A and B are shown apart, each in its own frame.
Chain A
Amino acid sequence: MSTETKAAAGRDTSRIHNIGYRSYDGRRLGRAYARRSLYSQTLRGSFGLGRSAKSKVLPMLLFGVMTLVAAILVAVSMVTPDSTKLVIKYTSYAIYLQAVIGLFIAAQAPQAVSRDLRFKSVPLYFSRPIERADYVLAKLAATASALFILTGAPLLILYVGSLLAKFDFVDQTKWFGQGLVSVALLSVLFAGLGLVMAALTPRRGFGVAAVIAVLTISYGAVSTVQAIAWETGSPGAVEWLGLFSPITLIDGVQTAFLGATSAFPGGEGPGAGTGVVYLFVVLALVAGSYAVLMRRYRRVGL
Chain B
Amino acid sequence: MPIQPSGLTIPVARATTVISVTAVIATEALSKRFPRVTALDRLTLDIGPGVTGLVGSNGAGKSTLIKILLGLSPATEGRAAVLGLDVATSGAAIRERVGYMPEHDCLPPDVSATEFVVHMARMSGLPPTAARERTADTLRHVGLYEERYRPIGGYSTGMKQRVKLAQALVHDPQLVLLDEPTNGLDPVGRDEMLGLIRRIHTDFGISVLVTSHLLGELERTCDHVVVIDGGALLRSSSTSDFTQITTTLAVEVTDSDTHPDGTDALRQVLTKAGVALVGQDGLDAEGLPGAGHILLVEATGEETYDLVRDSVAGLGLGLVRMEQRRHHIAEVFRTEQGAAHTVPAPAAGAVQQAATPGPYQKEGERSR
**Interface check A31, CB cutoff 8 A:** yes
1/0 contact string of B68-82 vs chain A (CB within 8 Å): 001011000000000
Among B2-42, those with CB < 8 Å from A are 3-8, 10-11, 14
**Interface check B204, CB cutoff 8 A:** yes
Measured CB to CB, the closest approach of chain A to B198, in angstroms, equals 9
Query: CB distance B359 to A23 under 8 Å?
Result: no
A158 to B134 alpha-carbon distance, docked (Å): 46
Measured CB to CB, the closest approach of chain B to A27, in angstroms, equals 6
Query: CB distance A119 to B123 under 8 Å?
Result: no
Query: CB distance B72 to A41 under 8 Å?
Result: no
Measured CB to CB, the closest approach of chain A to B118, in angstroms, equals 10
**Interface check B365, CB cutoff 8 A:** no
Measured CB to CB, the closest approach of chain A to B178, in angstroms, equals 12
Interface with A: B95-103, B287-295, B307-315, which one? B95-103
Measured CB to CB, the closest approach of chain B to A198, in angstroms, equals 15
1/0 contact string of B38-63 vs chain A (CB within 8 Å): 00000000000000000000000001
1/0 contact string of A279-302 vs chain B (CB within 8 Å): 000000000000000000000101
Query: Which residues of A sit under 8 angstroms from B106, Cβ to Cβ?
Result: 119-121, 123-124
1/0 contact string of B265-286 vs chain A (CB within 8 Å): 0000000000000000000000
Q: A19-B7, A24-B171 are in contact. Are A130 and B123 (CB under 8 A)?
A: yes
Interface with B: A48-56, A177-185, A186-194, A250-258, which one? A48-56
Query: CB distance B172 to A23 under 8 Å?
Result: yes
**Interface check B130, CB cutoff 8 A:** yes
Query: CB distance A28 to B134 under 8 Å?
Result: no
**Interface check A127, CB cutoff 8 A:** yes
Query: Which residues of B sit under 8 angstroms from A52, Cβ to Cβ?
Result: 110, 151
Query: Which residues of A sit under 8 angstroms from B105, Cβ to Cβ?
Result: 119-120
Query: Which residues of A sit under 8 angstroms from B107, Cβ to Cβ?
Result: 119, 121
A19 to B8 alpha-carbon distance, docked (Å): 9
Query: CB distance B14 to A23 under 8 Å?
Result: yes
Q: A124-B120, A129-B95, A300-B72 are in contact. Are A26 and B130 (CB under 8 A)?
A: yes
Query: CB distance B7 to A30 under 8 Å?
Result: no
Measured CB to CB, the closest approach of chain A to B177, in angstroms, equals 8
1/0 contact string of A1-12 vs chain B (CB within 8 Å): 110000000000
Query: CB distance B72 to A17 under 8 Å?
Result: no
**Interface check B109, CB cutoff 8 A:** yes
Please give me the residue from chain A that is nearest to B119 by CB atom.
A41
Query: CB distance A115 to B108 under 8 Å?
Result: yes
Q: Can you give 12 contacting A-B residue pairs, CB < 8 Å?
A: A18-B5, A21-B7, A21-B141, A23-B14, A24-B126, A24-B134, A115-B108, A120-B102, A124-B106, A127-B100, A302-B63, A302-B66
A151 to B242 alpha-carbon distance, docked (Å): 66
Query: Which residues of B sit under 8 angstroms from A28, Cβ to Cβ?
Result: 96, 124-126, 171
**A: contact size bracket:** 35 or more
A191 to B98 alpha-carbon distance, docked (Å): 33
Q: A50-B115, A127-B95 are in contact. Are A34 and B203 (CB under 8 A)?
A: no
| Contact with B11, one of A21, A51, A127, A128 (Cβ below 8 angstroms) | A21
A50 to B115 alpha-carbon distance, docked (Å): 8
**Interface check A20, CB cutoff 8 A:** yes
**Interface check B111, CB cutoff 8 A:** yes
**Interface check B104, CB cutoff 8 A:** yes
Query: Which residues of B sit under 8 angstroms from A130, Cβ to Cβ?
Result: 123
Please give me the residue from chain A that is nearest to B104 by CB atom.
A120
| Contact with A20, one of B4, B120, B195 (Cβ below 8 angstroms) | B4
Query: Which residues of A sit under 8 angstroms from B110, Cβ to Cβ?
Result: 51-52, 55
Query: Which residues of A sit under 8 angstroms from B126, Cβ to Cβ?
Result: 24, 26, 28-29
Number of A-B contacts (CB under 8 A): 127
A28 to B95 alpha-carbon distance, docked (Å): 12
**Interface check B67, CB cutoff 8 A:** yes
Measured CB to CB, the closest approach of chain A to B55, in angstroms, equals 19
Query: Which residues of B sit under 8 angstroms from A38, Cβ to Cβ?
Result: 123
Query: CB distance A20 to B359 under 8 Å?
Result: no
Measured CB to CB, the closest approach of chain A to B87, in angstroms, equals 13
Query: CB distance B7 to A18 under 8 Å?
Result: yes
Measured CB to CB, the closest approach of chain A to B243, in angstroms, equals 17
Query: Which residues of A sit under 8 angstroms from B14, Cβ to Cβ?
Result: 23
Query: CB distance B124 to A129 under 8 Å?
Result: yes
Query: CB distance B172 to A34 under 8 Å?
Result: no
**Interface check B358, CB cutoff 8 A:** no
Query: Which residues of B sit under 8 angstroms from A116, Cβ to Cβ?
Result: 108
A228 to B203 alpha-carbon distance, docked (Å): 76
Measured CB to CB, the closest approach of chain A to B200, in angstroms, equals 9
A284 to B157 alpha-carbon distance, docked (Å): 46
Query: CB distance A21 to B124 under 8 Å?
Result: no
Query: Which residues of B sit under 8 angstroms from A37, Cβ to Cβ?
Result: 119, 122-123
A126 to B110 alpha-carbon distance, docked (Å): 21
Query: Which residues of B sit under 8 angstroms from A41, Cβ to Cβ?
Result: 119, 122
Measured CB to CB, the closest approach of chain B to A182, in angstroms, equals 34
A50 to B108 alpha-carbon distance, docked (Å): 13
**Interface check A131, CB cutoff 8 A:** yes
Interface centre among B4, B92, B99 (most CB of A within 10 A): B92
| Contact with A34, one of B7, B102, B122, B167 (Cβ below 8 angstroms) | B122
**Interface check A169, CB cutoff 8 A:** no
Query: CB distance B123 to A19 under 8 Å?
Result: no
Please give me the residue from chain B that is nearest to A119 by CB atom.
B108
